[in-house]
Amino acid sequence: MKIFELLYRIVLLPHLFLYYRSRNKSQIDQDIARWAEKRNLKHSNVSLLLKFLTYSPDFRTLFYFRNKGLFSSLLNIYCRKEKYFRIDASTKLGGGVLTGHPYSTILNADSIGENLYVNHLVTIGEVNGKRPTIGNNVSIFTGAIIIGDITIGNNCVIGAGSVVVKDIPDNSVVVGNPGKIIKQNGVRV
């Protein structure tokens, strides 16, 4: 282990207090498992947590979101989250979130299910105070925009650059501006 990594992990030890005391520990465990699977890593959750906190500001953003409060804010002073990845405080966010360098990504939904994949330059936002609801196992790629009082079903893929302003049923692939379903239930539409 590199000296820097060892020292940084020591500095990160207060995060373990948050992890063990978190009301959202099961969701954090889902996040850890998804990140570990993507990177083909097999270690204890504590070791993986420290590794992801060390190297991934976007993981820190998720971690602090799941542990809102004064202590998280204090830890963020020296262990910064990704400042261009924002999750609205009132968003209900399921576990197993995986990010692909979410620079300039905003998650502002009523709820987002489990196993979300989100890339950079994604905006999930409100129109006239109404926000989207997003199901489980949804992947949202670069530059996609999902806004308004709409529902994105389970197992959907929102293609890069898509603008989605209407409900999308389960098992759909959406591309374009405006977003158009090109595949549903494995069949081209």
Residue type, 81: K
Site of tokens 């898509």:
162
CA distance 17 to 35: 21
CA distance 94 to 22: 15
Reading phi first (left if > 0) and then psi (alpha if -120 to 50, else beta), residue 101 is in left
Which is the catalytic residue, given 15, 43, 101, 120? 101
Residue 120 a catalytic site member: no
**Active site members:** 101
